[in-house]
Amino acid sequence: MFFLTYLRRELRRRMRQAIFIAIGLAIGIGLVITVMGASSGVKAAQAKVLRALYGIGTDVTVTTKPTPPKGAQGSVPISSGKATPGGPGGNGSHAQACINGKCYTSGTIDTLDSGDYGPLSSTTIAKIAQLKHVSAAAGGLVLTDNRIVLPTGSSSRLTPPTSVSVNGTDISHPKLGPLSNASLTMGRTFTAADKDAYVAVVDSNYATVHKLHVKDTVTLANKKFTIVGIVTQPQASSPPSVYIPLARAQALASNPATGKSMNNLVNTVYVTAASASDIGAVQKELAHLLPQATITSSSDLASEITGSAASAAKLAGALGRWLAVLVLIAAFAVASLLTMAAVARRVPEFGTLKALGWRSSRIVSQVLGESVATGIVGGLAGVGLGFAGVAIIDKIAPKLSASIPSANGGTGPTTHVAGGPGGASLVSPAATHTTIAVPMSASVTVGAIVLAVLLAVAGGLVAGSFGGWRAARLRPAAALARVA
Amino acid sequence: MDITHETVPPPPTSLYRLAGVSKIYRKNGRDIPAVRDLDLEIRAGEWLAVQGKTGHGKSTLLQLLGGLDRPTAGRLEFAGHDLATGAETKIRKVRATSFGFIFQSFNLVPTLTAAENVEAALIPLGVPHHERREKTAAALDSVGLGDRAQHLPGELSGGQQQRVAIARALVKSPDVLLADEPSGNLDEDTRDEIIGLLDTLWRERGLTLILVTHDSAIARRAQRIGVMARGRLSIRQDTRA
């Protein structure tokens, strides 16, 4: 009680100085919170991108490089108009397209291709699932449906080919893979009964563009799939347009290396580690099991993300953090110096208290108490400043962009188009990097507030320790001599 | 035959025993003796006034007697406690329980009220809160400041501040009152008032009063007068029984 009375009175006497110290600490702590808020906002934006690429529960993906196709397999040379009949690239009167060794002169060619990644067998998934630090593993097929309509009769006009990104989804592992991150907006998602059914879930953007609804159909590899649901992926993503059951995808997709179907094959394995700290161990285990495979963790992928989001992350992570640390150190130093100066002015007072029999520890705790109280006031003000700083960042922060490696969209076979109106051109169904807008929302976390309070108390303790140390060393006689 | 036995009073007890006490300060590589080879005994309940010129060791002697400083050489005992070489914790306890200090500049904590300043002397004794309040009120009443308990030092006159300091010294019922020029900062009327108060308290409470003063008029009230000159003490007057 006496402790608090003395503390309150002393702080009231030195109100200006206490306010000055508190403001210094508040600025430092406010800056720390703001930087943490901005940093967490950028990280959250990045995580959104990563989640969209991987799905929420996926820590690591395993892919392999595709085996180069034999001969002309895998490419689709198309000739049209005045091509020499049967001669690819010539100037006959009929278009001709050759896919995986087969040539077509009319009709619609609709193939489901796995171009970017090489095949992995189902047994590989089982082996991965059995690894020590792996919690779950599921396979998927990242595919592209390429559709080419060859001109008929005397028409020499070639309709540009279309391509749709398709994901063969393992229905038995709904928490792994790209679909795990999606929100259902209409209809339903896959059930166990859909394993071999011609059903599809489509992305809302794709559905909007193509005016698709539940119960409508989409055609993939010349097969009609009934849409059972429409899903939305996070804004900062480039999701597949259509999801179909893995078994259907395996039956319909063609292996670019062999030209055969991909039964019992996948081209991506989504892996969940037993815990976040096990991701490194999982990567090592996978590298040992599959030395030829490409093993990508979310942090690997994060490092591949470029653009303003990455720059902002670096800015918040490096410059912001150091700025906050410097301001904090300055605030602590000023608080310490002012506290020591205050103790110096109170030497006779402490000398008198020592003469009265007060323990040094009691005097030190009094000084510490005053400093910590100032620190807590500074900390609370700092939390307020931090909230204000975060709100300002939220208001004025420019929209970030991220250039991400395309993990979903398989590029499929490159389609060569010749003899069209524009002459020869190269059509790549999907780019390898996509630039997307990343909405950034800075926020103050509970962790930041706890850190602020700890910093405030630490600031008070540091300042009080210097002052208290000085007070403790006072000899009462020397202290009283100052009075005269 | 009636035999009359005369009652012999017990011999007065020595509260302080000082033998060969010296205090030498070291400044800029030079030794400055403040107290030299001092032998002295002070009885319980006596009033000793110490006079002397400025810088001749009066205040240093008071600090040694109050356990605020330690002698450089010699033996210094208070009621069996070794104030020369004893542990700091023990000396601090002796200070807290047995000594009451009165300073020339009052040395009140400016942010605390009169009552809180008095209460501060009871903090090291671990006196419970309500008891502290009662003792504080009684101490302030005894110096005539019961109605000024909630005033800050800055709101009191010099004489009133010194009364608060006296109340602070008395509140723990010490054995010894050590006063260093208690009237040095006061006008003549207030000086007489304060010295009169100390005289009364000394008589009523049986305190040992050691008072350092320049003022011969005040010193003459004491039982013994010692004069410090160049760190040496010589007794000029001794009216003790």
3-state secondary structure of A72: coil
Mean pLDDT of A1-23: 88
Nearest residue on chain B to A476, alpha-carbon basis:
B68
Q: How far is CA A279 from CA A130, A274, A276, A462, B132, in A?
A: 15, 8, 6, 39, 64
Is the predicted pLDDT of residue A261 greater than 70, yes or no? yes
- How far is B5 from chain A, CA to nearest CA, in Å? 47
Is the predicted pLDDT of residue A314 greater than 80, yes or no? no
Is the predicted pLDDT of residue A156 greater than 70, yes or no? no
By the 8 A CB rule, do B70 and B84 touch? yes
Mean pLDDT of B132-159: 92
Q: Is the pTM of this model over 0.90?
A: no
Q: How far is CA A333 from CA A382, A468, B106, in A?
A: 17, 15, 34
Whole-angstrom distance, CA of residue B207 vs CA of residue B177: 7
What DSSP state is assigned to residue A66? P
Q: Output A38 or A125, whichever has higher pLDDT.
A: A125
Q: Output B28 or B154, whichever has higher pLDDT.
A: B154
Whole-angstrom distance, CA of residue B198 vs CA of residue B166: 8
- Is A6 near chain B, with CB under 8 Å? yes
Is the predicted pLDDT of residue A88 greater than 50, yes or no? no
- Is A276 near chain B, with CB under 8 Å? no
- Please give the single-letter amino acid code of residue A54: Y
Mean pLDDT of A343-367: 87
Question: Which residues, other chains included, contact B27 with Cβ-Cβ below 8 Å and sequence gap of 6+?
Answer: none
Nearest beta carbon to residue B111 from set A10, A359, A480 = A10
Q: Which of B65, B83, B107 to mutate to test the interface with A (most CBs of A within 10 A)?
A: B107
Is the predicted pLDDT of residue A253 greater than 90, yes or no? no
Average pLDDT value for chain B: 89
pLDDT of residue A431: 41
Confidence of residue B16 (pLDDT cuts 50, 70, 90): very high
- Is A12 near chain B, with CB under 8 Å? yes
Q: Output A116 or B206, whichever has higher pLDDT.
A: B206
- Tokens 């993990």 locate to A407
- How far is B15 from chain A, CA to nearest CA, in Å? 19
Q: Output B28 or A104, whichever has higher pLDDT.
A: B28
How far is residue A214 CA from its own chain's centroid?
30
Contact B107 A348 (CB under 8 A): yes
pLDDT of residue A77: 46
pLDDT of residue A52: 58
Q: Tell me how far apart the terminal alpha carbons of chain B are, to the nearest angstrom.
A: 32
Is the predicted pLDDT of residue A63 greater than 90, yes or no? no
3-state secondary structure of B14: strand
- Is A357 near chain B, with CB under 8 Å? yes
Is the predicted pLDDT of residue B5 greater than 90, yes or no? no
Residues of B in contact with A484 (CB under 8 A): 59, 104-105
The model's pLDDT over A401-417, given as tens digits with 9 standing for 90+, comes to: 666 555 443 333 333 33
Contact A355 B68 (CB under 8 A): yes
Nearest beta carbon to residue B69 from set A5, A353, A477 = A477
- Is A15 near chain B, with CB under 8 Å? no
- Tokens 């689709």 locate to A76
Nearest beta carbon to residue A349 from set B96, B109, B116 = B109
Return the exposure string of A69-79: e unless at least 16 CB atoms fall within 10 Å of the residue's CB, then b.
beeebbbbbbb
Nearest beta carbon to residue B124 from set A348, A359, A481 = A359
What DSSP state is assigned to residue A203? E
By the 8 A CB rule, do A355 and A476 touch? yes
Mean pLDDT of A266-291: 86
A325-354 residues touching B, CB cutoff 8 A: 348-349, 351-354
Contact B66 A483 (CB under 8 A): no
Q: Output A186 or A453, whichever has higher pLDDT.
A: A186
pLDDT of residue B209: 94
- Tokens 């893995």 locate to A246
pLDDT of residue B176: 94
CA-CA-CA-CA torsion sign (A447, A449, A452, A453): negative
pLDDT of residue B210: 94
Q: Output A315 or A468, whichever has higher pLDDT.
A: A468
Q: How far is CA A466 from CA A339, A344, A347, B115, B222, in A?
A: 8, 11, 14, 30, 45
For residue A102, what are its two tokens? Answer: 């087969």
Please list the helix, strand and coil fractions of chain B in percent, rounded to the nearest 5, in that order: 35, 30, 35
For residue A283, what are its two tokens? Answer: 């990567």
How far is residue A313 CA from its own chain's centroid?
11
For residue B118, what are its two tokens? Answer: 């008095």
% residues pLDDT > 70 (chain B): 94
The model's pLDDT over A139-148, given as tens digits with 9 standing for 90+, comes to: 999 888 888 8
Average pLDDT value for chain A: 76
Residues of A in contact with B97 (CB under 8 A): 357
- How far is B230 from chain A, CA to nearest CA, in Å? 19
Please list the helix, strand and coil fractions of chain A in percent, rounded to the nearest 5, in that order: 45, 25, 30
The model's pLDDT over B163-213, given as tens digits with 9 standing for 90+, comes to: 999 999 999 999 999 999 888 877 888 888 888 888 888 888 889 999 999
- Is A483 near chain B, with CB under 8 Å? yes
For residue A325, what are its two tokens? Answer: 């640390």
Contact A5 B123 (CB under 8 A): no
Residues of B in contact with A9 (CB under 8 A): 111-112, 116
By the 8 A CB rule, do A238 and A406 touch? yes
pLDDT of residue A345: 82
3-state secondary structure of A200: strand
* Chains A, B: CB pairs < 8 Å: 84
Nearest residue on chain B to A7, alpha-carbon basis:
B111
Residue A24: what are its φ and ψ, rounded to 5°?
Answer: -60, -50
Is the predicted pLDDT of residue A73 greater than 50, yes or no? no
pLDDT of residue B87: 93
What DSSP state is assigned to residue B140? H
Return the exposure string of A391-411: e unless at least 16 CB atoms fall within 10 Å of the residue's CB, then b.
eebeeebeebbbbbebbbbbb
Looking at the DSSP assignment, which residues form a beta bridge with residue A104? Answer: A97
Q: Which of the residue ranges A30-44, A96-110, B206-220 has the most confident prediction, judged by mean pLDDT?
A: B206-220
Contact A348 B119 (CB under 8 A): no
- In DSSP notation, A345-367 reads HTHHHHHHHHHTT--HHHHHHHH
- Please give the single-letter amino acid code of residue A41: G
pLDDT of residue A224: 92
Q: Output B4 or B128, whichever has higher pLDDT.
A: B128
Among candidates A355, A250, A415, A9, which has minimal Cα distance to B69?
A: A355
A179-238 residues touching B, CB cutoff 8 A: none
The model's pLDDT over B45-77, given as tens digits with 9 standing for 90+, comes to: 999 999 998 888 888 999 999 999 999 999 999
Q: Output A16 or A157, whichever has higher pLDDT.
A: A16
Q: Picking from A124-128, A233-237, A255-259, A260-264, which range would have the lowest pLDDT averaged per residue? A: A233-237
- Please give the single-letter amino acid code of residue A63: T
Is the predicted pLDDT of residue A390 greater than 90, yes or no? no
